[in-house]
C-alpha cells in the first residue's frame, strides 16, 4: 500500500492537478518560434495548443503592393530552409495565369534546383530532429552535406539561403559546366552519406525507442487534418503532387514515392530518408537529360533582352526600360497552382485584376496546415514525446507565420 501520510502523520490523498505549460517560443527544441500551450496531467499531455504568429510579416498583403517579379525575393523568406521550392511555386502560378510555357532547359534547371532544395530541407529536418532527441552527431554530418548544396546554390545563383533563382519565364542564370560537375559529384557522394545517417540513427535503440509508435496518426485522420508531404506519406497515403499532378518534367522522370505503414514518427523519418535518395536519382536523371538551348522564354516584355543587346539595340533598351519601370500586365483571372515542396503541398492562389500587381495573393503553406495535427499526435503521449512529434512534422515558421 502506498503511504500517503505527511510529516505530521496525518492521512492525505495525493492528487495530481492539471498543469498548463508553455513550451516555447524560445525553447531550443521548438524549431524557431513555436509556442505550444500544453495541458499536462503529470507527464501525460492532455491537450497541445499551438500558438503561432510570432514571425508574422504580412507577406500576402505585401504582395498586393509589389509588381509580379518583385514578389519573388519575398517568397525566399517563407520556407527559408528550401527557398527554391517557394520560388518555383510562385513563378509557376504566375506563368499559369500568363499562359506561358518555359523552355525545356529551364524546366530541367528548375527541377534540379527544387530537388537540391528538397535535399537541403530534409537534411536540416533530420539533423535538427537528431539534436532534439539527443543525437548531436548527425546534425554536424547533415550540415556538412547541406554546405555542399549551399555552395552549389552560390555557384548557380549567388545566394546561399535567399536564392531568388527563378524568374517568371525561366531562371535567372544558366548552369555552368562547373556547376554540373559539382552537382554530379554531390550525387555520387550523397547515397553513401545517407547510409551514414542511417547507420547512426535507424538501428539505434534510443532513436527507435523515442520514435517508434510515437505520434501515431492514421491515414484517415491525416487526410482529414489536411496533412501533406512526407507527413501524409508516413501514414501510408501514396499522394505526391510530383506524380499525381505532374508539373515541369516530373512525368518523364523515374522515381519512387516512399510511404510508411504505421504513421508514427519513425515512419516519417524513414520516408524522409528515402525521399532524399529519390531526389538524388532525380537530379542524376536531369543532369543526364538536360538539353541545351535557351533558359528563358523569348518574350521581351516578360524577360527583358540580355544586357549586351541593351547597349546596342534601341528596341532592346526600350523593353528593358519598360520591364524595370512598369513590369508587365497579367491577364484578369484567378489561378491556383500547387507544387510538392519538401514540407508538403505549397500552393499559390492569385487573383489578378489585369494590372501589374496581384489583387490578392493567398499562400497555402504546408507547415501551417501540418502543425494543426500536433494536438492529435501528442494527446496521451509523454511530454518528452512532444519534441519528437514536432520534429517529425518539421514546421518552419517563416512559412507557417507568413
Partner 1 sequence: MNEKKVKIVKRDTPGALDLAKKTVFLDFIKGLSITLRYNLSRSITIRYPDEEKWIPYPRFRGAHTLNRDEEGRELCVACELCVKACPTNCITVVPMEDDTGKGIADRVAKVWEVDLARCFFCGYCEDACPTTAVRLGRDYELACFELDKARKTKEELLKPQSVPEDFEGGIIVQAKLQRTKSGIKVKPNLWKKKEKK
Residues that bind partner 1 (CB under 8 A): 66, 69-74, 76, 137, 144, 151, 154-159, 162, 164, 172-173, 178, 196, 199-200, 202-205, 237-239, 243-244, 254-262, 266-267, 270-271, 273-274, 307, 310-311, 317, 320-321, 324-325
Quote the least distance from Cβ 342 to partner 1, whole Å: 17
Helix (H, G, I), strand (E, B) or coil at 219: helix
For 344, residues 6+ apart whose C-beta sits below 8 A from its C-beta are 227, 228, 229, 230, 231, 232, 366, 367, 369, 370
| Cell numbers found for residue 245 | 499532378
State how far the Cα of 326 lies from the Cα of 307, in Å rounded to an integer.
Answer: 18
Q: How far is the CB of 372 from partner 1 (least distance, A)?
A: 23
Residue 341 CB, shortest distance to partner 1, in Å, is 19
Distance in angstroms (rounded) separating the CA atoms of residues 370 and 67: 30
Whole-number Å distance between alpha carbons of 287 and 178: 12
Closest approach of Cβ 134 to partner 1, in Å?
13
Cβ closer to partner 1: 16 or 313?
313
Count CB atoms within 10 A of the CB of residue 67.
Answer: 18
Core vs surface per residue 188-203: b (16+ CB within 10 A) or e: eebeebbeebbebbee
Q: Is the peptide bond before 319 cis (omega within 30 degrees of 0)?
A: no
State which H helix or E strand residue 188 sits in: helix 177-201
Burial class (CB in 10 A: 0-12, 13-18, 19+), 10: exposed
Output 34 or 280, the one with its CB closest to partner 1: 280
Q: Which is nearer to partner 1, 19 or 208 (CB)?
A: 208
Nearer to partner 1 by Cβ, of 52 and 363: the residue is 363
**Between 74 and 328, CB nearer to partner 1:** 74
Nearer to partner 1, 21 or 206 (CB): 206
Instruction: Please say which residue, 19 or 178, places its beta carbon nearer to partner 1.
Output: 178
Closest separation in Å from C-beta 220 to partner 1:
13
Residues 39-61, buried b or exposed e (16+ Cβ, 10 A)?
ebeeeebbebebebeebeeebee
Half-sphere exposure in the Cβ direction for 133 (13 Å, CA): 29
CB of 195 to partner 1, least distance (A): 10
Q: Residue 399's beta-bridge partner residues?
A: none
Q: Are 29 and 132 in contact, with CB atoms under 8 Å apart?
A: yes
Residue for grid cell 496581384: 358
Q: How far is the CB of 203 from partner 1 (least distance, A)?
A: 5
Residue 257 Cβ, how far from partner 1 at the closest point, in Å? 5
Considering beta carbons, is residue 26 or 308 the nearer one to partner 1? 308
Amino acid at each position: 500500500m502506498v503511504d500517503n501520510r505527511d510529516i505530521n502523520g496525518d492521512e492525505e490523498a495525493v492528487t495530481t492537478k492539471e498543469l498548463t505549460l508553455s513550451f516555447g517560443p524560445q525553447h531550443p527544441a521548438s524549431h524557431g518560434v513555436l509556442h505550444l500551450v500544453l495541458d499536462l496531467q503529470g507527464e501525460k499531455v492532455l491537450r497541445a495548443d499551438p500558438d503561432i504568429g510570432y514571425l508574422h510579416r504580412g507577406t500576402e498583403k505585401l504582395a498586393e503592393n509589389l509588381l509580379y517579379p518583385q514578389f519573388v525575393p519575398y517568397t525566399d523568406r517563407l520556407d527559408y530552409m528550401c527557398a527554391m521550392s517557394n520560388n518555383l511555386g510562385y513563378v509557376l502560378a504566375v506563368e499559369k495565369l500568363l499562359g506561358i510555357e518555359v523552355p525545356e532547359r529551364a524546366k530541367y534547371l528548375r527541377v534540379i534546383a527544387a530537388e537540391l532544395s528538397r535535399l537541403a530541407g530534409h537534411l536540416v529536418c533530420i539533423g535538427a530532429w537528431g539534436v532534439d532527441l539527443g543525437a548531436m552527431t548527425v546534425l554536424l554530418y547533415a550540415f556538412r552535406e547541406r554546405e555542399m548544396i549551399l555552395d552549389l546554390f552560390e555557384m548557380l545563383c549567388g545566394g546561399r539561403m535567399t536564392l531568388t533563382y527563378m524568374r517568371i519565364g525561366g531562371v535567372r542564370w544558366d548552369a555552368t559546366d562547373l556547376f554540373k560537375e559539382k552537382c554530379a559529384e554531390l550525387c555520387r557522394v550523397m547515397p553513401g552519406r545517407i547510409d551514414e545517417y542511417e547507420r547512426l540513427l535507424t538501428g539505434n535503440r534510443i532513436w527507435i525507442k523515442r520514435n517508434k509508435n510515437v505520434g501515431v496518426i492514421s491515414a484517415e485522420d491525416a487526410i482529414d487534418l489536411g496533412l501533406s508531404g512526407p507527413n501524409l506519406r508516413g501514414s501510408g497515403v501514396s499522394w505526391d503532387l510530383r506524380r499525381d499532378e505532374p508539373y515541369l518534367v516530373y512525368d518523364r522522370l523515374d522515381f519512387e514515392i516512399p510511404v510508411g505503414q504505421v504513421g508514427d514518427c519513425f515512419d516519417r523519418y524513414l520516408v524522409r530518408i528515402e525521399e532524399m535518395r529519390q531526389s538524388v536519382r532525380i537530379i542524376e536523371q536531369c543532369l543526364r537529360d538536360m538539353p541545351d538551348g535557351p533558359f528563358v522564354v523569348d518574350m521581351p516584355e516578360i524577360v527583358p533582352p540580355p544586357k549586351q543587346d541593351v547597349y546596342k539595340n534601341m528596341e532592346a533598351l526600350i523593353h528593358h526600360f519598360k520591364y524595370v519601370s512598369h513590369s508587365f500586365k497579367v491577364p484578369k483571372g484567378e489561378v491556383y497552382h500547387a507544387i510538392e515542396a519538401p514540407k508538403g503541398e505549397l500552393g499559390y492562389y492569385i487573383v489578378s485584376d489585369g494590372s501589374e500587381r496581384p489583387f490578392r495573393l493567398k499562400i497555402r503553406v504546408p507547415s501551417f496546415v501540418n502543425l494543426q495535427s500536433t494536438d492529435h499526435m501528442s494527446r496521451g503521449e509523454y511530454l518528452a514525446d512532444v519534441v519528437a512529434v514536432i520534429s517529425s512534422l518539421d514546421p518552419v515558421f517563416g512559412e507557417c507565420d507568413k
